[in-house]
Structure 1
Amino acid sequence: MSQAQRDITLRFLAEPQDVNFGGKVHGGAVMKWIDLAAYACSAGWSGRYCVTAYAGGIRFVAPIHVGSLVEVEAKVIYTGKSSMHIALEVNACDPKSLNRRLTTHCIVIMVAVDQNGQPERVPQWIPETEIDKTQHATAIKLMEIRKKIGEEMQIFVED
Structure 2
Amino acid sequence: MTKFKKIEDSRVVISELMLPSHSNFNGKIHGGYILSLLDQIAFACASKHSGTYCVTASVDTVDFLKPIEIGELVTMKASVNYTGNSSMVIGIRVEAENIQTGQKKHCNSSYFTMVAKDKEGKSMQIPGLILETEDDIRRFAKSIKRNKMKFKNKKEFNDTDFASEEYLHILEEHKVKIERTD
Choose which of 83, 100, 122 in structure 2 pairs with 1:118.
122
Letter in structure 1 aligned against 2:27: G
SS state at 1:125 partner: strand
Is 1:23 the counterpart of 2:18? The answer is no
Residue deviations 1:78-134, cap 9 Å, x none?
A: 101111111111001122333221001111111110122110111101312111111
Query: TM-score, normalized by length of structure 2?
Result: 0.79
Q: Does 2:34 align with 1:8?
A: no
Q: TM-score, normalised by structure 1?
A: 0.90
Instruction: Specify which of 32, 36, 41 is matched with residue 37 of structure 1.
Output: 41
Residue equivalent to 1:96: 100
- Partner Cα separation in structure 1 for residue 20 and residue 118 of structure 2: 37
Mapping of residues 73-152 of structure 1, within 5 Å: 73-152=77-156
Alpha-carbon distance between aligned partners in 2 of 1:155 and 1:31, rounded to the nearest angstrom: 31
Q: Aligned-pair distance for 1:149?
A: 2.1
Deviates more, 1:44-53 or 1:145-154: 145-154
State which structure, 1 or 2, has the greater radius of gyration over its C-alpha atoms. Answer: 2
Q: How has the CA–CA distance of structure 1 residues 50 and 151 changed in structure 2, closer, same or farther, with 3 Å as cutoff? A: same
Give 2:108's aligned amino acid. T
State the SS of the aligned residue for 1:21.
coil
1:70 and 2:74 correspond: yes
Amino acid of the residue matched to residue 145 of structure 1? M
Deviation at 1:155, TM superposition (A): 7.0
Cα distance between partner residues in 2 of 1:97 and 1:39:
32
d(CA) in 2 for partners of 1:131 and 1:77? 10
**How many pairs are equivalent?**
155
Structure 1 stretches of at least 4 aligned residues deviating more than 3 Å after TM superposition? 152-156
Question: Identical aligned pairs, as a percentage?
Answer: 34
Aligned-CA RMSD value: 1.9
Gaps of 5+ in 2: 161-182
Aligned pair in 2 of structure 1 residues 152, 28: CA closer, same or farther (>3 Å)? farther
